[in-house]
Amino acid sequence: MSGLADLRKGTVGHWIQGGTTTAPTVPEASPIQTSLPTSAYGQTIPVVWGKCRLPAAYIWVPPIVTVTETHMEWWDQITTTTSDMSCRLRFARPLVPDSTWTMRKLYCNGTLIYDASQGYRKKGLKFRFYSGLSTQGQDPTMVAEEGESNVSAHRGYLDIVLTNFDIQGFGAPPVFEAEWIQDAASTHDYDTFQTYSGEIAFGQMIPVWDQGKLFGFDNADVYLYSIYATKQYFSFDLPGDAFTTYSCFRYSRVLDRLVYLASFGGVNNWKPVLIDGSTGTVIETSSASAIASGVIPEQGGCLVDFNTSALVVGFTTSSDQIFSVMLTVDDITPVYQSGTGWEGYSSIQCVTPGAVRGSDADFYFCADGDLVKVTFASQGQLLATSVLASFSDDLRYAIYDDDGDLVVWTDAGTVSRVDGSTGAVEYTKTVPYQIETIGLRDLGAPDLQRLTEELYFTTGGTSYFTDLKTGLTRSITGADASVNAFFYDGVTDTGITKTTLSQPRRIRLVTGTGDSRLLSDFLEDLMVHGAGYDQSEVETINIDDVIDGAVIDITAGARDIARATCEPYSIAIFERSGQVIFKRALTDGSFAVDQSVSSTGDVLDQ
């Protein structure tokens, strides 16, 4: 029984009060080697056409930042070390200037970390790829590090810029490879969820991106789905109530609690309701109203998590009031309600959460033409209000970006970036779409998106992606022209919407595999863009072979590359009347049906 005696003395482990504690030994992180690997092609930049997989060469790397952090999880001390590296990687130069390229896959030390064909992206991976267009702008990561006047646009090359990529596990800057595809067609892949009951009312959906789950609400019951499996898992049957209208459906990750605001008539006495996120049990319906009078739009709010509580902040559209509701694991309480016509504004269109600190958080409201910063305490009290920036057009939507700046959209079809500290407008660009007013908007609320580089918007059968750092917009046609509420996750390049029958549906933009291409097209592009011939001076005859792509060293000379390419295919190269002709003779067995080269007038090259 000596073991029990030792327990009573407090000498075994540290469960017994009075036992001696020993500070844990934290191993030092391995130092990061700063020598950079180079491309397998040495100093030669390959020229590419079609489809290819290439290693990268580092051409820009700022100082690598190593940070060690320690925190407690229950009774364990957890120490993590990250070494964040930003860099510009160069892969190749396109043979055809201003051609459109897509990076389909990215590998790091041989491991796949990004696959556009499957919607896969390694956690924490942030990058921008550049196809070298003549209109290409400066990279925002490089500008932030070096200054705008010290960064070129690096046009004419296939590059990617990684931002804060953790290389601690590699011990040194790793070797990257990428698969590039020229003129790859991206298609919309829609997957309707497998369900067994229920329908989602309006836009009452909560995508919990980091957990891969989706909550839906039909104003009576709550449904739980898997985003990854596109299946329904559970249905929570809520008890009947006296309410007729519901809004601000949200989920707290810290508390595992669902919350919504409910009203009998939809214009007054909005009661907060707290629900267990795992069982569907209604924990509390507040006796006090979050808003005594006014219409709270479906997406007219946001939720922010603190350490042991959460805060819902929202607004009304009819009385233009703002409010806050605090929730804990077992309680929900309305805390703040402004007067009508808050701060003299007549139209509030959006609220987006900003910086979250231990005891307070910032929220940004689009109110008339002002972007208004409001700070609430974690308990829900309003602490401060200030106008960050003012515009001549009314604001419709705002996103708080990862560097503390904000991006806002107006009712005039423009997007602007606002410095989060000074309120200075960094750019204003026109976008080919118009974000609707809050009452007609299908675009989900900002706190339900997980954006990395772009805002996703769809209308009229086209998907638009607006770069948050530059304001430039790209588009992909072929989207479903029937638009319902939609949300987007930039980490996995996945969207969530619903069908016309109110069933959830997943959207993925899938990059094509790069179909095989005609050898004749490569030969023509080689002579036109590699040797300087006019298109009319190059002709291909009887060449129907197909290839995936080509990686060449153009310093060898275009005609030498053409000879080496044509020889295995028995293709003759000759000049006739000022034209370079690539021709394979038609044959019938050993009998030549079509003589390639004339005995007079043709100059034989091969």
Residue 364 pLDDT > 80 = yes
Distance of alpha carbon 247 from the chain centroid: 27
| Per-residue pLDDT band at 597 (split at 50, 70, 90) | low
Q: Are 236 and 225 in contact (CB under 8 A)?
A: no
pTM summary value: 0.79
pLDDT in tens, 70-79: 766 666 777 7
Residue 421 pLDDT > 50 = yes
pLDDT in tens, 548-571: 999 998 888 899 999 999 999 989
Strand partners, 279: none
Q: Are 179 and 105 in contact (CB under 8 A)?
A: yes
Calculate the average pLDDT of the chain.
88
> DSSP letter at 140?
H
Cβ atoms within 10 A of the Cβ of 194, count?
Answer: 12
Q: Are 345 and 368 in contact (CB under 8 A)?
A: yes
Residue 16 pLDDT > 60 = no
Burial class (CB in 10 A: 0-12, 13-18, 19+), 476: middle
Report residue 200 as tokens.
């989602």
Q: What single string gives the DSSP state of each residue in 194-238?
A: B-SS----TT-EEEEGGGTEEEEE-SSEEEEEETTTTEEEEEEEP
Alpha-carbon distance 552 to 567, whole Å?
A: 16
Structural domain spans, the chain: 2-184, 195-510, 517-604
| Per-residue pLDDT band at 13 (split at 50, 70, 90) | very low
Q: Quote the pLDDT of residue 218.
A: 92
> DSSP letter at 173?
-
Q: Are 548 and 104 in contact (CB under 8 A)?
A: no
Residue 240: which residues within 8 A CB-CB, separation 6 or more?
A: none
Listed as own residue / partner, the contacts of 373-377 with beta carbons closer than 8 Å and 24 or more positions apart are 374/313, 374/322, 376/311, 376/313, 376/324, 376/336
Report residue 4 as tokens.
């029990």
Greater confidence, 67 or 391?
391
Alpha-carbon distance 129 to 160, whole Å?
A: 4
Question: Which SS3 state, helix, strand or coil, does residue 558 take?
Answer: helix
Residue carrying structure tokens 């070096």: 146
Do the strands 76-94 and 47-55 form a parallel or antiparallel pair, or are they unpaired? Answer: parallel
* Mean pLDDT, residues 248-275: 94
φ and ψ at residue 142, rounded to 5 degrees = -70, -40
Alpha-carbon distance 179 to 92, whole Å?
A: 11
Torsion angle of C-alpha atoms 491, 494, 498, 504, degrees rounded to 10: -80
Cβ atoms within 10 A of the Cβ of 201, count?
Answer: 17
Alpha-carbon distance 21 to 345, whole Å?
A: 59
Question: Which stretch of 20-24, 151-155, 268-272, 523-527 has the lowest confidence by average pLDDT?
Answer: 20-24
Question: Which stretch of 20-29, 51-60, 306-315, 438-447 has the lowest confidence by average pLDDT?
Answer: 20-29
Alpha-carbon distance 90 to 38, whole Å?
A: 10
Residue 375 pLDDT > 80 = yes
Residue type, 188: H
Alpha-carbon distance 427 to 149, whole Å?
A: 16
Query: Which CATH superfamily is 195-510 part of?
Result: YVTN repeat-like/Quinoprotein amine dehydrogenase (2.130.10.10)
pLDDT in tens, 303-345: 999 999 999 999 999 899 999 999 999 999 999 999 999 999 9
Q: Quote the pLDDT of residue 576.
A: 86
Alpha-carbon distance 262 to 244, whole Å?
A: 7
Report residue 486 as tokens.
């939609």
Alpha-carbon distance 540 to 557, whole Å?
A: 19
Alpha-carbon distance 80 to 69, whole Å?
A: 5
Q: Quote the pLDDT of residue 18.
A: 44
Helix (H) or strand (E) holding 6: helix 2-9
Report residue 120 as tokens.
């896969």
